[in-house]
Chain A
């Protein structure tokens, strides 16, 4: 768990089961064998649904191997399919449901927005950043979100301006803010660096 550069940037405490819950939905969009083993070693009481976004070609992974006996494993071949499964699970969710979202920030905050849409409280959702550190970037000029950004500068997929990727993060948009780096002196664009591997 690293210290955020900006207070709006999410801090991700180590993921633990919320044992006050009676139903649990675990949405995972990246592999992390150590985390899977730790969570599965002491599953919570009640029902557990694991929505697992993974390339089918990847075969068996830690998220489906040692699944606790009561758990239901749903495989999703893409993030879009995973979000649809999550939507269905949220639609039928009962009181006492706890949501766990683990994956790259782009995936977990899209999932989080979906949970918000169902009125799930901030206390009932836990987030863990695993896998790629790539950022979703909201262009403050044209409002397009450019996804999978590994560099401090990126061409906006909406308006093609070169955006500087700030640390300022909006949970509502599920994205970091990007603004035109050369607005003051057009053309004055430094070289981009990979900082979100």
Chain B
């Protein structure tokens, strides 16, 4: 499979990011029902249908090159978006191994890994990188192993350390987040880290999710979807830069809502790491404008209903309050009220 990358598109400034029809078709639409509520919607991260975002362990798509450039810009502006506590070095190498092996296996025309004992050679064709290094020797890479490999893989990443029956967010590469701060949250326990999420704690969601994840086995990764909405196709919606993107929420009008308002879906993967017994948490984001989604009327209808019935606490937490009604009004014209049944499929 070859991917036509769009190396020049941007996620800031003129926001030239666009989805091809193929990218829209494979968008991981997250709503199987007309109403959204939290659930522990975790399933095995097994190989999905060819071409789908679930096909591979780490999904690489047409936005890969541009997203990696946007990450580099964000790191240049704020190196604190990549942090790793000192005891995480084994987990960093575990992560590098998992991602390199997965990409080389799943995209052999794009990535190659040659292992000769501890001597490894890595080729990343889309970014034009070649690196020979000694596995386990930080001095043989241009930067620490976690930063090195996550500068080359789409999605945000957290490595959680497992100890005292809890998961601690002790490393992170976070440049495309839904408004949470790595600088603030690094080192937190599972429930502390998720502390600001409304309703879910009282529903026992994190209690059950933690219990489940503590038992996660190597070679049996799991996944779930999460979502929010973003104005403009912007990756860096961090608390740190909130003064830069916050005003965009006031710019949505009935004329531009289809272009400006994006559904932002996170495909979250969880992988047990072999040496450190840590856990890699991948947060792979996808952005689709309402115009994109409306090319599949079933999705437009579904999203119309989900936004209409979304509890206010969740709308507040996800930052939708200022433009939710404008989006609902725009989507209404697609919704004939037909029974959609269950499922996330586009048709």
Contacts and interface: CB of A to CB of B under 8 A. Distances in A.
A170 B243 CA distance: 22
Given A7-B194, A8-B193, A185-B250, A141 B188 contact: no
Contact of B184 (A122, A140, A183, A185): A140
A167 B184 CA distance: 13
Contact of A141 (B192, B193, B243): B243
B201 interface: yes
A27 interface: no
A141 B191 CA distance: 24
B247 A7 contact: no
A179 interface: yes
Contact of B239 (A167, A170, A179, A184): A179
A168 B249 CA distance: 23
Instruction: Name the residue among A138, A141, A169, A185 with the largest chain B CB count within 10 angstroms.
Output: A141
A120 B44 CA distance: 38
Contact of A184 (B183, B188, B194, B249): B249
Contact of B247 (A138, A167, A173, A185): A185
Interface residues of B, number: 26
Interface string A162-197: 000011111111000101100111100000000000
Nearest to A122: B164
A186 B192 contact: no
A49 interface: no
B187 interface: yes
A138 B185 CA distance: 12
Contacts of A140: 181, 183-184, 239-240, 242
Nearest to A6: B195
A172 B187 contact: yes
B196 interface: yes
Contacts of A171: 187-188, 192
A137 to B, nearest CB: 11
Interface in A71-90: none
Instruction: Name the residue among B184, B239, B246 with the largest chain A CB count within 10 angstroms.
Output: B184
A59 B116 CA distance: 72
B184 A173 contact: yes
Nearest to B244: A183
Given A140-B239, A168-B195, A179-B239, A184 B184 contact: no
A161 B241 CA distance: 13
Contact of B201 (A7, A169, A170, A173): A7
Contacts of A6: 195-196
Contacts of B242: 140-141, 179-180, 183
B220 interface: no
Nearest to B197: A7
Interface string B228-253: 00000000000110110011011000
A38 to B, nearest CB: 29
Given A122-B164, A184-B250, A186-B247, A7 B187 contact: no
A183 B80 CA distance: 21
A37 interface: no
Nearest to A142: B240
Contacts of A147: none
Contacts of B164: 122
Interface in B190-235: 191-196, 201, 206
Given A7-B194, A183-B243, A184-B322, A170 B249 contact: no
Nearest to A116: B187
B246 A183 contact: yes
B186 interface: yes
A146 interface: no
Interface string B162-174: 0010000000000
Contact of A177 (B184, B186, B191, B247): B184
Interface in A120-174: 122, 138, 140-141, 143, 161, 166-173
A29 to B, nearest CB: 23
Q: Which A-B residue pairs are the 10 nearest by beta carbons?
A: A8-B195, A183-B246, A7-B195, A8-B192, A184-B246, A172-B187, A6-B195, A140-B239, A183-B243, A183-B242
Given A8-B188, A177-B239, 4 more contacts: A141-B242, A170-B184, A180-B243, A183-B246
Interface of B: 80, 164, 181, 183-188, 191-196, 201, 206, 239-240, 242-243, 246-247, 249-250, 322
Interface of A: 6-9, 122, 138, 140-141, 143, 161, 166-173, 177, 179-180, 183-186
